[in-house]
Structure 1
Amino acid sequence: MAIKYTEEQLNTVDKSLIIQMFLNQQEELSKAVNQIEQLTKEVQSGNDKLQRMMEQIILSNNARFGRSSEKMDNTDQISFMEVDGNIIFFNESEAVCDLSAEEPEDLEPKPRGKKKVGKKEADMSGLPVNRVNHYMTEEELIAEFGENGWKQLPDAISKRYKFIPAKVIVTEHHVGVYASKKDNRIVKADYPKALLKGSPVSASIAAAIMNGKYVNAFPLYRLEKEFERYGLAITRQNMANWMIRLGETYISVMYDYLHKLIYDYHVIQADETPVLVNKDGRAAGSKSYMWVYRSGYMNPEQQIILYDYQLTRNASHPREFLKDFSGICVTDGYQVYHTLEKEKEDLTIAGCWVHMRRRFEQALQVIPKGSQKGTVSYIAMKQIQAIYREEGKLKDLTSNERLEQRQAIIKPLVDALFMYLKQNQANVSGSCKLQDAFK
């Protein structure tokens, strides 16, 4: 029970006792303040965990039941620019305005193009044609029209597709063997060597398996059944062994060549994704990583895409793969790439806009639709949308023209976006996903 003193009692108390009482009270108050601060932190931590849990539930539901497209529901086009440290917003008309554009010569609507004809002819033009004649006999014509009572008109032509199922034959190579009558020296005639020593696999069968497995995504057991219908006894184990041996013997040579060739590109892209592997010497279901490196989309006729399977996600793998690369590598925010950038003076790591946009999109998804407009996530998404829109207009330009337009049009949009994010970074609170986006 706490002791209470009256004013009269305090007037008679020794001064040293009053000082001691004050100090004890001060210490108790300090402890109470610390406890309150600790409880406040615990409550805030609990709120953050609850907020993150709710955001994860919302995003999980969107992933399961929502649409897969990342397009924004709101199609209003807005963007903003940075002018003397201030953010100036533009609506669609202002954003696309170009006073230097030429006026149209006339206002007559252009006629719509006619529907193309002959599409079926174009589709069939590259296929071999097997002509089948259907003519009436002379007796049938006489019976129909009488003696010399008809004339021949141009043929009516009807084209149809005919599918010829695959068939399998055995190619039997008979190789001439010759021996000298003088010294019993034996010589064989030249003949094509087998793809794999001691194996009946041919280039055509290997190509069929590769096409079925890696292009059409058929499991090997389905291919096994398909070959059974052709009378071939090729097991899935045979096919798996052939794919591995052919990859090591032939495709690895092409892989190494493309690996060197990708170094000639100034800009490449890199990413990694986890894969679960059942048999690699570890426990079933152990997590491994498939790293991918590819050339940019600006070289559509010379695309290079290389996969690099590794057991871990550490920096040693991209360090080895990119050891001779000099240029720009576009990646997500994984810190390993920035570690390499510090190690290699000739390597520049650039952030991926898709990954950045996805962070703000997730932050926007956890906000009720009626409250999204005007939020930091919404404004950032709209600005990124404007950047994408302007970038899409440059795909048919040359490299120099594209650079000029990017510096003139897109760079101000990007600068304004980062200026806006810096101005609002201190105000970010509540949504854990928005905090992640700012990181």
Structure 2
Amino acid sequence: MTTRPSTPSSDDIHSLKALLLEKDKRISLLEAQVRLLRHKRFAASSEKSDGQAELFNEAEAAEPVPEDDLDENTDDAETETIQYERRKSRGRKSLPADLPHVRIEHDLADADKVCECGCALTHIGEDTSEQLDIIPATVHVLVHARLKYACKACESTVRTAALPAQPIPKSNASAGLLAYIATAKYHDALPLHRQEAIFKRMEIDIPRNTLANWMMRSGELIAPLIAQLDSELRSGKIIQCDETPLQVLNEPDRPASSQSYMWVRRSGAPDHSIVLYDYAPSRAGSVAEKLLKDFSGYLQTDDYAGYHAVGRKDDISHVGCWAHARRKFVDAQKAGTSKDKKTTRIGKADVAISYIAKLYAIEKQAKDASSETRRQLRQEKSVPIFSALREWLDKTLHSTLPKGLLGTALGYLNKNWEKLVAYTEDGDVNIDNNLAENAIRPFVIGRKNWLFSATPRGAHASAAIYSLIETAKANGLEPYAYLREVFARLPSISSDDELQALLPWNVSLV
């Protein structure tokens, strides 16, 4: 006798439906993550949005957007600028007029200076064209001849002229050579082993360990100047921070595979730009507290928790970064894009990106304005956008899964709202943390070439030299010329006034 299968109860059916729904959500989340990873792996890395996303009418109808909000200011300001500059830069640029010019004349042969009618041709002008020529770097030896004097009468006194203070005592490295090596490594990302090979082509034998030792000694030499820049940075009213991983092989009590960090602080104010790198074996909040000790003012960072304790201090106003907030919506937008762009729906990520684009358009409008004018413009135009965005955010949060990419972006915006709108308080504060991110990029590029630091001493030296080079660049100075001046003058400096004169905005380079 066969038995009939029992009919599932209503509770079992509800449980199965709930399980299937949960699995569907999980599958949708994984599919979005796969689309995003594929986009990052194979597509362009630009965060530029599709044009139709700027003219949104949200498909999900979470909230209709007022028509007066959909104007030309919705376009992404950064994208417009890039396109305009590209159009403008087409064609060959003229060579710098201050470069030495060598005239090479090309004349007709005497037989060609006679006309077919028999008359001599008269010189009426010339046609010129320019070529850029490069003579490889020349190396010469500086011979320091210290004159000696003696008394012939008593033959007991001998005096020799003193040798000026040198960057590295008892070394054959001049200030110019040290500046050349440092610029090549820390500005041009040329590792020391490649520089060693270049010197060998010049028939000069400088082992790589000697080059490394010179860089470490150079980093120690400029320590007083770095300390002065650090004091100037902490006394300002705005500091932007960021950090990036660094591997140090021979660190006490740590395996070679351990991950250390290079921290970057940059002044956010337009005058006296300062960029400082600091090596630390960890990413702990205690490092941020140490680097920002005695600072009071605006601290602008991403949402890394290591900055939260410092940001909660009474004398510090913690400001967020709209570039990070936008980036998360861009990721959600990329992950939600269908293969057929004609059928791509304009969704919630597009709405957020369009609101943020309008904030950046206002910043573009106020780019060359005074601090107070910029603050007033933000209060008049940016604050109303915040009100509309906040109202949309409150409604959208409740209709979006929190674990998805869009939910993560919305959660980031909601969590950091107070910090994100704080930049409107002061016209000198930036809308994002991009200055610090741009400052850390040269280090990241260099790290791809030299990969790691051998010792903490080398990492500290690299941080100091990077600081000097990037600060010089931020103040419009050519790095090699500035480093050469610093290495030449710093060994003989004995007063604070002389040290102040070496700061990038005070030094005069010929």
Which structure has the higher relative contact order (CA within 8 Å, separation 6+)? 2
Match for 1:277: what amino acid? V
Give me the TM-score of the superposition, normalised by structure 2. Answer: 0.65
**1:222, distance to aligned residue in structure 2 (A):** 1.4
1:260 to 222, 226, 231: 231
* Residue matched to 1:309: 279
From the superposition, tell whether residues 143 and 66 of structure 1 become closer, same or farther in structure 2 (CA, over 3 Å).
closer
Summarize the Cα distance change of 1:174–1:38 in structure 2 as closer, same or farther, 3 Å threshold: farther
- Say if 1:87 and 1:416, in contact at 8 Å, map to a contact too: no
Over 3 Å counting, the alpha-carbon distance change for 1:176 and 1:193 in structure 2 is: same
Cα pair 1:330 1:352 within 8 Å, conserved: yes
Structure 2 unaligned residues grouped into runs of 5+: 1-9, 58-62, 75-87, 412-510
What is the CA distance between 1:202 and its match in structure 2? 0.9
Match of 1:293 in 2: 265
How much identity, in percent, do the aligned residues show? 31
- 1:293 offset after TM fit, Å? 1.0
CA distance in 1, matches of 2:245, 2:24: 31
Structure with more strand by fraction: 1
Q: Is 2:413 the partner of 1:436?
A: no
Among 298, 303, 318, the residue aligned to 1:349: 318
| Counterpart secondary structure, 2:264 | strand
CA pair 388-372 structure 1, distance change in 2 beyond 3 A: farther
- TM superposition shift of 1:287: 0.9
**Alpha-carbon distance in 2 for matches of 1:127, 1:53:** 58
Relative to 1, partners in 2 of residues 1:179 and 1:348: Cα closer, same or farther, differing over 3 Å?
Answer: same
Matched residue, 2:133: 162
The match for 1:273 among 223, 234, 244 is 244
- Pair 1:408–1:144, CA change in 2 (3 A): same
Q: 2:308 aligns with which of 317, 320, 338?
A: 338
Distance 1:47 1:177, change over 3 A: farther
Shift of 1:59: 2.4
SS of the residue aligned with 2:200? helix
SS of alignment partner, residue 302 of structure 1: coil
User: Partner of 1:393 in structure 2?
Assistant: 365
* Alpha-carbon distance, 1:407 to partner: 0.6
The answer to whether the 8 A contact 2:247-2:258 is kept is yes
Q: Secondary structure at the match of 1:70?
A: coil
Alpha-carbon distance change, 340 to 326 in structure 1, aligned in 2, over 3 angstroms: same
Give, as a single letter, the amino acid of the residue that structure 2 aligns with 1:351. G
Partner AA of 1:67 in structure 2: A
Aligned residues of 1:87 and 1:420 also touching (Cα < 8 A): no
How far does residue 40 in structure 1 lie from its aligned partner after superposition? 9.5
1:71 aligns to 2:42 (yes or no): no
Preserved CA contact (<8 Å) 1:276 1:287: yes
> 1:156-189: CA deviations, max 9, x gaps?
5454333211121111111112334547343221
Instruction: Quote the RMSD (CA, aligned, Å).
Output: 3.8
**Counterpart residue number, 1:178:** 149
Number of the residue aligned with 2:34: 57
Q: Residue 246 of structure 1 corresponds to which residue in structure 2?
A: 218
| Structure 1 position 90 matched with structure 2 position 61 | no
Alignment of 1:98-177 (within 5 A): 123-132=95-104, 140=110, 144=114, 151-154=122-125, 156-177=127-148
- Normalising by structure 1, we get a TM-score of 0.74
Secondary structure of the structure 2 residue equivalent to 1:293: strand
CA distance in 2, matches of 1:42, 1:311: 45
Does structure 2 conserve the Cα–Cα contact (< 8 Å) formed by 1:79 and 1:90?
A: no
Q: Secondary structure at the match of 1:362?
A: helix
Distance change >3 Å, CA 392–CA 364, structure 1 → 2: same
Residue 300 of structure 2 is aligned to residue 323 of structure 1: no
Equivalent-residue separation in structure 2 for 1:65 and 1:364 (angstroms): 16
Contact 2:262 2:277 in 1 (8 A): yes
Question: Is 1:376 aligned to residue 348 of structure 2?
Answer: yes
Larger radius of gyration: 1
Q: CA deviation at 1:194?
A: 2.6
User: 1:48/1:176 Cα in 2 relative to 1: closer, same or farther (>3 Å)?
Assistant: farther
Quick check: 1:277–1:286 contact (8 Å CA) kept in 2? yes
How many equivalent pairs are there? 378
Gaps of at least 5 residues in structure 1 are: 1-31, 81-85, 98-114
